[in-house]
Amino acid sequence: MPQQLSSSPPCALTTGPMAKGTYKLSSTFGQRGGEFHRGIDLAAPRGTAIYAALDGKVVAAGEASGFGNWIVIDSNTANGLVSTVYGHMYNDGVFVKTGDIVKAGQHIAAVGSNGQSSGPHLHFELWQGGRLQNGKFVDPAPMLEQAAPTASQDALKMAHAIADCAVKPGAGLAAGKVPAEFVPWLLKGAADCPNSGITAPLLAGQVKAESNFRYGAALVTSSAGALGPAQFLPGTWETWKVDADNNGVADVHSIADAVVAQAHFMCKNWQDTSAGIKSGALIGDAVDLALAAYNAGFGAVQAAGGMPSGGDYTTQTRPYVRKIRDYEREFASTDFEALKSAGQQVDRESKVVQAAREYLGTAYFWGGGNIKGPTHGGFDAPGLATYVTYTSTGGSLTLPRTVQQQWTKGTEVTADRAKPGDLVFSEWNPNGIPRHVGIVISSGVMIHASTGDGKIVEAPIPADAKIRSIS
Ligand SMILES: [Zn+2]
């Protein structure tokens, strides 16, 4: 029997797999003619754009029985591993390959009618726990309604959705960064606290902060009397002790017992801080507060209504939390790094749209505009490009002043690979030099300082344009 998930749904989708208005829901999730339909069908003309619904990594892209071609994307979400599955594309409608890191809203495929299909549509599935890992399929329809539509005006909403549905470390430990004897117990400890912020990299960071991975004779008992690699005080150990390696004794000095007990204690702290945040009794990040509780006691967190401050809390507890969150990043697998940079790309894109829209309708002024905004009350085309680029990169990229100079920057990308922030060059002179520049803000759409309109407007990307990615 197919399993339906009754517990909490996976993290909300960041975007819909297709732009609103481009499809019709033609078949729902559930029992269908003696079979269980594991996803939903979105009918649309052949070639209609399909977007990645979450940041993630492509773990399958190609032929699959019944699907014609499929794409499977694994995403590490706040609620654990989630896969999104896209089916029925033709060979020329699959734009990603296995191993690609994709971001939510990326154009990954085109609608087809390949495989067991009675007309062009996207068959879309959502799996909690992973498709290739034999997780559970869930109905994506409710999440589709909450997801930001895939359209430029929703890039900001998208960024907010990502904050809620951020890629979290925890997929795994980076190879070779944690002493090997700790690795299985860190993974077991994290597995004992599923769908939480208590991950193997976090626990590894905590062990580093507590004992720097020392144990046995190498570890001197601290002045406070804390013991073992997780630095348990004897009284606390009595509460949390566990015989994780089944050797007949719960030993505070054993890596296995100490790390798994640490994970269980952290899991309880995380549950308490999450509940406190939900009820409004606590303010802050559940993981930060769980770490503070490990260090200073949950009572201190409760009394402060969040992160404790003053005295030792300021000089000791707060630095302890910050340090561990830094270590957590260091210990997270490199796949996470790639996912994180994909997340930063989306963040940048929302800033592009924000910066560009800020001056929509502002006057065109020849020679106007710089990194700070309009000059003489307006922008010309390269002036606007300069402002948007500078602002959306947090000041790290300053373009030269003229279109001709800007044309020498970055690398050319094809239209289907263009992303917000890329520069759109057009109005070619006979020497193949552009006279005009705009900025991509969404698929097929740019914003530019238009001489024709006398102001800053959105416009379709011209057919003869060449696009350059400058970041
Ligand atoms: Zn279907």
pLDDT computed for residue 305 by the predictor: 93
Residues 319 and 193 in one domain: yes
Residues 394 and 299 in one domain: no
DSSP string, 55-123: SEEEEEEEEETTTEEEEEEEEEETTEEEEEEEEEE-GGGB---TT-EE-TT-EEEE-B--SS-SSSEEE
Domain-embedded: residue 117: yes
Q: How far is ligand 1, taken at its centre, from the CA of residue 161, in Å?
A: 26
Q: How far is ligand 1, taken at its centre, from the CA of residue 37, in Å?
A: 6
Report the pLDDT averaged over residues 49-72: 92
Give CA–CA dist 257/148, Å, rounded.
45
Q: How far is ligand 1, taken at its centre, from the CA of residue 27, in Å?
A: 7
Final residue of a structural domain among 315, 332, 349: 332
Give CA–CA dist 265/262, Å, rounded.
5
Looking at residue 367, its amino acid is G
Q: How far is ligand 1, taken at its centre, from the CA of residue 74, in Å?
A: 19
CB 451, CB 367: distance < 8 Å: no
Residues 213 and 253 in one domain: yes
Q: How far is ligand 1, taken at its centre, from the CA of residue 115, in Å?
A: 11
Q: How far is ligand 1, taken at its centre, from the CA of residue 43, in Å?
A: 10
Q: How far is ligand 1, taken at its centre, from the CA of residue 39, in Å?
A: 6
Q: How far is ligand 1, taken at its centre, from the CA of residue 98, in Å?
A: 22
Give CA–CA dist 301/80, Å, rounded.
26
Residues 189 and 324 in one domain: yes
Final residue of a structural domain among 149, 170, 194: 149
Domain-embedded: residue 61: yes
CB 79, CB 274: distance < 8 Å: no
Q: What is the pLDDT of residues 376-423, one digit of tens each?
A: 999 999 999 999 999 888 888 899 999 999 999 988 988 877 888 899
Could you tell me the pTM of the whole model?
Answer: 0.41
Instruction: Characterize the bridge pairing of strands 378-379 and 363-364.
Output: parallel
Contacts by residues 20-29 (CB-CB < 8 Å, ≥ 24 positions apart): 20/149, 20/150, 20/151, 21/149, 22/48, 22/49, 23/48, 23/111, 23/121, 23/122, 25/141, 26/121, 27/121, 28/139, 28/141, 29/139, 29/140, 29/141
Domain-embedded: residue 156: no
Q: How far is ligand 1, taken at its centre, from the CA of residue 383, in Å?
A: 48
393 vs 17, more confident: 17
Q: What is the pLDDT of residues 334-384, one digit of tens each?
A: 554 444 555 555 566 667 777 777 788 899 999 999 999 999 999 999 999
Give CA–CA dist 37/41, Å, rounded.
9
Q: How far is ligand 1, taken at its centre, from the CA of residue 343, in Å?
A: 29
Q: How far is ligand 1, taken at its centre, from the CA of residue 57, in Å?
A: 22
CB 467, CB 418: distance < 8 Å: yes
Residues 228 and 315 in one domain: yes
Lowest mean pLDDT among 5-14, 121-130, 260-269, 300-309: 5-14
The residue behind tokens 């909690």 is 128
Domain-embedded: residue 154: no
Nearest CA-CA partner of 240 in 181, 324, 225, 228: 228
Q: Using a pLDDT cut of 70, give the percent of the chain over it.
A: 87
- CA 321 to chain CA centroid, nearest Å: 22
Phi, psi of 434 (to 5 degrees): -80, 150
Q: How many structural domains is the chain composed of?
A: 3
Q: How far is ligand 1, taken at its centre, from the CA of residue 114, in Å?
A: 12
Q: How far is ligand 1, taken at its centre, from the CA of residue 146, in Å?
A: 21
Residues 379 and 306 in one domain: no
Q: How far is ligand 1, taken at its centre, from the CA of residue 242, in Å?
A: 47
Structural domain that includes position 78: 24-149
Beta-strand runs (E) in 100-230:
101-102, 107-110, 121-128, 136-138
Final residue of a structural domain among 149, 167, 196: 149
Give CA–CA dist 66/70, Å, rounded.
9
Q: Residue 441 is part of a domain; what is its CATH number?
A: 3.90.1720.10
Which residues 6+ apart lie within 8 Å of 191 measured at CB?
A: none
Residues 297 and 379 in one domain: no
Say yes or no to pLDDT of 149 above 70.
Answer: no
Q: How far is ligand 1, taken at its centre, from the CA of residue 164, in Å?
A: 28
SS (H, E, C) 275-338: HHHHHCCCCCCHHHHHHHHHHHCHHHHHHHCCCCCCHHHHHHHHHHHHHHHHHHHHHECHHHHH
Residues 191 and 309 in one domain: yes
Report the pLDDT averaged over residues 72-94: 89
Name the CA radius of gyration of the chain, rounded.
Answer: 26
Q: How far is ligand 1, taken at its centre, from the CA of residue 11, in Å?
A: 22
Q: How far is ligand 1, taken at its centre, from the CA of residue 28, in Å?
A: 8
Domain-embedded: residue 350: no
Domain-embedded: residue 405: yes
Q: How far is ligand 1, taken at its centre, from the CA of residue 62, in Å?
A: 17
Domain-embedded: residue 161: no
Say yes or no to pLDDT of 442 above 90.
Answer: no
Residues 89 and 48 in one domain: yes
Looking at residue 63, its amino acid is E
Q: Residue 245 is part of a domain; what is its CATH number?
A: 1.10.530.10
Three-state secondary-structure class, residue 184? helix
Q: How far is ligand 1, taken at its centre, from the CA of residue 25, in Å?
A: 10
pLDDT computed for residue 169 by the predictor: 33
Domain-embedded: residue 39: yes
Looking at residue 376, its amino acid is H
Q: How far is ligand 1, taken at its centre, from the CA of residue 103, in Å?
A: 24
Q: Using a pLDDT cut of 90, give the percent of the chain over it.
A: 49
- Number of helices (H), then strands (E), belonging to the chain: the values are 13, 20
Q: How far is ligand 1, taken at its centre, from the CA of residue 52, in Å?
A: 17
Tokens of 325: 């969150």
Residues 187 and 322 in one domain: yes
Residues 322 and 371 in one domain: no
Residues 325 and 363 in one domain: no
Q: How far is ligand 1, taken at its centre, from the CA of residue 167, in Å?
A: 28
